[in-house]
Structure 1
Amino acid sequence: MACVGGLVGDTDQFLRVVRSHAHLEDNLACLGPEYPLAVERGSVEFQALVKFNTASPGSCPRTYFYDSTARIICMEDLRSYKDLRREIIQGVLSDEAVKCIAKHIAIVHRQNHVAKLSTPDMEALLKLFGYTDLVQLTEQFVFTKPFTKDDPTNKFSEEVSMHAHLVYDNPQVLANAEKMKKVFLEKKECLIHGDLHTGSIMVCNDSAKLMDIEFAFVGPGAFDIGCLIANYIMSYYQHMSDGNRQFAYRTIDFCKLTGKTYFENMTSYTGDMDGYNKNFVSEVAGFAGCEIIRRILGAAHVEDLEGRPLAAVDALGAGVRLIVAKDRIDTVDRLMVIAHMLT
């Protein structure tokens, strides 16, 4: 993706131009040209950026225009911001930035929730953010292929291969992964980011911006939070492996702070609030387990665990425990106990 600086009108605000790849050149980096992405993703991303910033101003880079012919999005320059994954690998992340992330996604979910929108507005949202090629990729590369033994796109180290049976030979893991896929595909709850991991967030001190929103669609809000918490959990195992126990323990606090901040701000719900929140956390646990497993057994790994096979094995165990126990997890504290084997 090419980025070019520029100016708009009389403003002094630097911009960057994000040019969508051509049809045959636009593909998943981890898989290569055999998996091209639809060019329509630029339009989806632009519409999502507008929706997110309308709901929660400052949640994403400001957008200035989208040229559908040239497939160019012109947006705010974030040169003062840094990639969250790179920062957290170095052991740098403030509590305020964690709260900022959780608050933004909670408000986006709240303002674009089935409990808040009229029937015509919900239908319009579904029309804008329905089942796209990118959602299909998520279905395949998060919920299907990583749980399919001998799928050719899967890749993992020899050390991890010795523990892959924990997934492939466990009927409960496979059955619950299928259940989570069904929730992902069928629960039309709210507008979600759809790919919320630490590599799709930019941070600057206590501020955060959500990026790469081309996977946005109307789905279960727990998927966003599950993916985000899964990435904090994998960071925990990275830092424990590196001997940085102090920051590893902080990632547990990040997960708890994410849950607390989210529920303080996501006040749209169906049914009774207590039941809704408990089920939400159960879904978060299931989605977190799927995300961890796919990042270790599947095609797209995370830099946090690269070159750390023992940390990857430990994280894989956490993913398995979360999927197996998801129906018994109804608080973030309990999720943390099971993910980290805490006492």
Structure 2
Amino acid sequence: MLFVRDPDNVEIVAVGDGNLNDVARLRDKQNSSSSLIVKYAPPFIKCLGPEYPLTVERGSVEYQALVKFNTASPGCCPKTYFYDTDSRIICMEDLRSYKDLRREMIQGVCSHEAVRCIARHIAIVHRENHVAKLSTADMDALLKQFGYTDLVQLTEQYVFTKPFTKDDPTNHSCEEVSAQVNLVYDNPQILANAEKMKKIFLEKKECLIHGDLHTGSIMVLNDSAKLMDIEFAFVGPGAFDVGCLIANYIMSYYQHMSEGNRKFAYLTIDFCKITGTTYFENMTSYTGDMAEYIKTFMSEVAGFAGCEIIRRILGAAHVEDLEGRPLAAVDALGAGVRLLTAQDRIDTMDKLMVIAHMLT
């Protein structure tokens, strides 16, 4: 990218609306096809403001994770060019022709092959960086490189703790949802299971995970997909990634059902099933009996999906799929409550689908 050597030849355009970081596109004024993405980590949570400080080391973690992910499953993430430790800036490939998966799904656009591509990438990353595959020395090195960070603590707080704390000031919801919060706060089983899932999230050192896998952190181009925003990466339970992804497909289902778009809503159920099938086809690193591993994994997926749905409706970081759609948000909240309540009885994707969508 020689054009960046001449500041007068560089056009800078802000892109993205992430909760944590600032992202800009640097483009050659004389050649619009020549560009790169610059990502900057401010010392606070962007969506909450300077009064919520956050370590800037997340940029270094993300850079290392991007390299690790692309090594395991080539092309699963944008290429990285370099990371500047002083300015806390990552320079990476500009996926100009790719589109944000969440915004595509809001419009009712997503292919089965793109869903397979996502599941295959994350399964391979898990497989190649799994405790069952790595030597003790390599696993120790992975744990040291991707251990407990401020962002893992952020997930602990904003996924598993604050949304389940009735009077936490960072929580917010629309009037229709507020009338239903007793489903969470007056339900001892929900609160106990949220604590249980938090314990698994923090203590199960299984494999390298994305740590924040949702439809807004994935870019798609026809049948291909790339994973983005990997600063939350750490060694944890593989089911957390899959559970968060499934949760986002479920929320999309309720968005489209509320709008009468049943055809695409039903496609999101296919996406969940494809995700499960493709993941297990590629995820061949596991400990213990395979049948028991799958049952435990799916139970954890259900619990994590329930937590993700609830926190996206009651917590600080909502999703565009449900914003301005109160009936969809209420229905999705019910799905999250059912999944988290029944997580220890869910051991297949089919059961998860029945409970999440109240299918008969």
Identical pairs, percent = 81
1:182 aligns with 2:199: yes
The one of 18, 32, 50 aligned to 1:33 = 50
Counterpart CA distance in 1 for 2:274 and 2:64 is 29
Unpaired segments ≥5 residues, structure 2: 1-21
- Structure 2 match to 1:20: 40
C-alpha root-mean-square deviation of aligned residues, in Å?
1.3
- Structure 1 match to 2:336: 319
What is the deviation of 1:13? 8.0
What is the deviation of 1:28? 3.4
Counterpart CA distance in 1 for 2:273 and 2:69 is 24
Counterpart CA distance in 1 for 2:321 and 2:118 is 20
How many residues are treated as equivalent by the alignment?
A: 336
Counterpart CA distance in 1 for 2:158 and 2:208 is 21
- Structure 2 match to 1:193: 210
The TM-score normalised by the length of structure 1 is 0.96
Counterpart CA distance in 1 for 2:357 and 2:71 is 37
What is the deviation of 1:275? 0.3
After the TM superposition, which segments of 4 or more aligned residues of structure 1 sit over 6 Å from their partners? Answer: none
What is the deviation of 1:6? 5.6
- Structure 2 match to 1:69: 86
The amino acid of 2:210's aligned partner reads: H
- Structure 2 match to 1:84: 101
1:98 aligns with 2:115: yes
Residues 223 and 284, structure 1, Cα contact 8 Å, conserved in 2: yes
The TM-score normalised by the length of structure 2 is 0.91
Cα deviations by residue, 1:102-156 (Å, 9 ceiling, x for unpaired): 0000000000000000001001001110000000000000000000011111000
1:3 aligns with 2:30: no
The one of 125, 128, 135 aligned to 1:111 = 128
- Structure 2 match to 1:155: 172
Unpaired segments ≥5 residues, structure 1: none
Counterpart CA distance in 1 for 2:35 and 2:119 is 26
Cα deviations by residue, 1:213-251 (Å, 9 ceiling, x for unpaired): 000000000000000000000000000000100000000
Counterpart CA distance in 1 for 2:180 and 2:72 is 43
Residues 41 and 58, structure 2, Cα contact 8 Å, conserved in 1: no
Residues 189 and 341, structure 2, Cα contact 8 Å, conserved in 1: yes
Counterpart CA distance in 2 for 1:2 and 1:173 is 37
The amino acid of 2:38's aligned partner reads: V
Counterpart CA distance in 2 for 1:120 and 1:6 is 43
Bigger strand share: 2
Counterpart CA distance in 2 for 1:87 and 1:176 is 33
- Structure 2 match to 1:142: 159
Counterpart CA distance in 2 for 1:6 and 1:49 is 22
Residues 180 and 283, structure 1, Cα contact 8 Å, conserved in 2: yes
1:288 aligns with 2:320: no
Residues 41 and 59, structure 2, Cα contact 8 Å, conserved in 1: no
- Structure 1 match to 2:246: 229
The amino acid of 1:325's aligned partner reads: A
- Structure 1 match to 2:12: none
What is the deviation of 1:33? 1.8
Residues 148 and 168, structure 1, Cα contact 8 Å, conserved in 2: yes
